[in-house]
Amino acid sequence: MERLIMNKLIEWKGKKNRKPLILNGARQVGKTWLLKEFGKRNYENVAYFLCDKDEEINKIFSSNFDIERILIQLSARWGKDIRPEKTLIVFDEIQSSPRVLEGLKFFCEDAPNYHVAVAGSLLGISLHQGSSFPVGKVDMIRVFPLNFEEFLMAKGQKRLVDILFQKDYESINTLKETYEKFLRQYYFVGGMPAAVLAHVENEGIEEVRSIQQQILFDYTRDFSKHLSKANVARVNLVWQGMPAQLFKENKKFIYGVLKEGGRAKEFETAIQWLIDTGLVYKVNRCKVAQMPLKAYEDFSAFKLFLCDCGLLGALSEIPASQMLVSDEAIKEYKGGFTEQYVLQQLISKDRGSIYYYSAENSRLEIDFLIQNEGKIVPIEVKAEGNVRANSFTEYLRNNPDTHGIRYSMLPYIKQEHFDNLPLWAID
């Protein structure tokens, strides 16, 4: 299974000012596999240590941060010599070992010729007292579920990916039915590696959904592991309420949907915890569509999205037949589901901060706003070929110097004030 993020790991290896690397992301998005595969392809060997299962590793870092001593003891624990430039040192489940995390600072300062990479989420790190995060002493790469292009590659469709990357819109339009077929599959399967692998190997739907449900169960088990009983209840309300938030007409997050009389003070910590774990993405409102967008960010109004569209389908208990076959059956919630997919694609491509826009005292709302090369780009998302969008049209009319993007099931069409791009060609 190829991951596009492998190129970033190769860039990290070749950096002159390379620091220890933290590969951060939600559980089960493939961080461990990435580091092992990266090490296998680019180093003579990989010294792999699983922090949450190996008490000896915690003891090695417990007394002091003498890196020379630590390297000798790690070599003894591994059973081979750890050599600079030749060995990739991997610490997995780093959130379980705050002292190991803190020790990355000393690898950076005292042993920069050793290549060190760790995998883990920020889950639980802030809960540990007496340890500090190595600010400024680490590089960080965030890992997401497979995006649509990676899904196509896993399906053996690299040529379709090449056409997308080459922006060969004539071919993209010609192959519309093919791309749409795979997009439907991706909506159901999503990008969690275990689900994608099961789909690729046998193309069955029951096993894929079973894997998704197991992942959801594992996540809820993590809630209980890391949180107090009171906070577990709040996190569960937010988590289980995600479909209701996304599938209503106004997708702005409303606390009252979680429970009658719900307020921000009651749930803001739970929401932030889910964001920190990588399970949820937050898109804040931008109240004025001017540069820089961050200056006009409204923290009180936002949308929440899951990390993966396949998990959203499983959490929503949407039947596979409706997602893979029937177009009309999912019409009621298609808008929210399509926004989920587009947001995932934009995040996976490092498009920077993403907002949505709604005007004061007006019903005008734009699904997403981003900055690109010093310009504001409004993005309209349409689930089908019916692309009537009064807000998008009005926004472009009021901002004649702006060029927008509309994602829909229509083929590529370049118009005066916006480009229509098919949903499978998000760049």
pLDDT at site 324:
62
pLDDT at site 130:
45
Least confident piece of the model among 19-28, 38-47, 181-190, 312-321? 312-321
User: What pTM did the predictor assign?
Assistant: 0.91
The widest CA-to-CA distance across the chain, in whole angstroms, is 68
pLDDT at 150 over 80: yes
Q: At 198, is the pLDDT very low, low, confident or very high (cuts 50, 70, 90)? A: very high
pLDDT at 384 over 90: no
Task: Identify the CA nearest to 382 among candidates 426, 348, 414.
Answer: 426
pLDDT digits (tens, 9 = 90+) for 240-255: 999 999 888 788 999 9
For domain 6-142, the question of CATH label 3.40.50.300 is answered with yes
Q: At 364, is the pLDDT very low, low, confident or very high (cuts 50, 70, 90)? A: confident
pLDDT at site 330:
52
Length of the chain: 427
Least confident piece of the model among 151-155, 315-319, 367-371, 412-416? 315-319
Q: In the predicted model, what is the mean pLDDT of residues 49-59?
A: 88
Least confident piece of the model among 278-287, 375-384, 389-398? 389-398
Q: At 262, is the pLDDT very low, low, confident or very high (cuts 50, 70, 90)? A: confident
Between 270 and 384, the more confident residue is 270
pLDDT at site 261:
83
Q: In the predicted model, what is the mean pLDDT of residues 375-386?
A: 87
Q: At 124, is the pLDDT very low, low, confident or very high (cuts 50, 70, 90)? A: very low
pLDDT at site 259:
85
pLDDT at site 126:
45
Rounded mean pLDDT of the chain? 90
pLDDT at 129 over 60: no
pLDDT at 127 over 50: no
pLDDT at site 366:
93
User: pLDDT > 70: what percent of the chain?
Assistant: 93
Q: At 55, is the pLDDT very low, low, confident or very high (cuts 50, 70, 90)? A: confident
pLDDT at 111 over 50: yes
pLDDT at site 333:
62
Domain boundaries for CATH 3.40.50.300 within the chain: 6-142
pLDDT at site 53:
82
pLDDT at site 326:
54
pLDDT at site 94:
86
pLDDT at site 339:
93
pLDDT digits (tens, 9 = 90+) for 202-252: 877 889 999 999 999 999 998 888 788 889 999 999 999 999 998 887 889
pLDDT digits (tens, 9 = 90+) for 325-355: 555 545 556 788 899 999 999 999 887 899 9
